[in-house]
Structure 1
């Protein structure tokens, strides 16, 4: 019997729970392999060939190749593991976070310095006067304002 997941009502949020962990196991293991310099060099030399050594779904591989971190998260990736891809590419976590929000690094940094995103529109569905809570489709990841 599946566990209740009341957190599915939070727009634009994917919670890394046991189901996500299982879905992203090989994706996250790939990311962790990038902690070794030799693996980073192999990956950078031929990304597709290195990815093909891992039993990830084609969709996961395509998300990595596109550096679509939001899609990687929807497919079971954990941001702390995915950060290894950014580090391999010479990107800071701040640059990665900015790219995930559609902002430049400076825009993202300035937003965070100013106190972060407004909670308006980012609450649990039904809390902003919504008469009817809506379920976000399983695995959906949306950008928030």
Structure 2
């Protein structure tokens, strides 16, 4: 829903409520800026997630690398991207997953002008 209370189909608006609910997830992602934190995350992701007090839903989204679900659970795309980077993913890889496509399909779609407004 946008600031005027209008629903935007297929869109999660990152507002104050989303920011509050996603704080643990976003704090975890921001910690991954440091190499030592990335090493800890890779070595024991469950302990790392517990340290940041992620909800069970957030933990499952991180386990599955379900970036769209992370956003629905309050993740900020600029922060949760860092989780994908730990796996060597790049922006097109993450966005393709969110769109339900392979990276190759997503890149080809974008080369052809992106999605049409009707589909």
TM range (shorter): over 0.9
With structure 1 as the length reference, what TM-score do the two structures score?
A: 0.77
1:9-56 CA-to-partner distances (Å, cap 9, x unmatched) read x22111111111111011101100001000000000011111110122
Give the one of 33, 36, 53 matched to 1:35: 33
Paired residues in the alignment total 117
CA RMSD of aligned residues (A): 1.2
Quick check: 1:5 aligned with 2:10? no
Tell me which structure has the larger Cα radius of gyration.
1
Counting only pairs closer than 5 Å after superposition, residues 50-89 of structure 1 correspond to structure 2 as: 50-89=48-87
Describe the SS at the equivalent of 1:52: helix
C-alpha displacement at 1:5, in angstroms? 2.3
Distance in 2, Cα, partners of 1:89 & 1:41: 12
Indicate the structure with greater helix content.
Answer: 2
Distance in 2, Cα, partners of 1:115 & 1:17: 29
Counting only pairs closer than 5 Å after superposition, residues 102-121 of structure 1 correspond to structure 2 as: 102-120=100-118
The list of structure 1 runs, each at least 4 consecutive aligned residues, that deviate by more than 2 angstroms after superposition, is none
Distance in 1, Cα, partners of 2:5 & 2:78: 22
- Structure 1 match to 2:12: 14
Distance in 2, Cα, partners of 1:63 & 1:69: 7
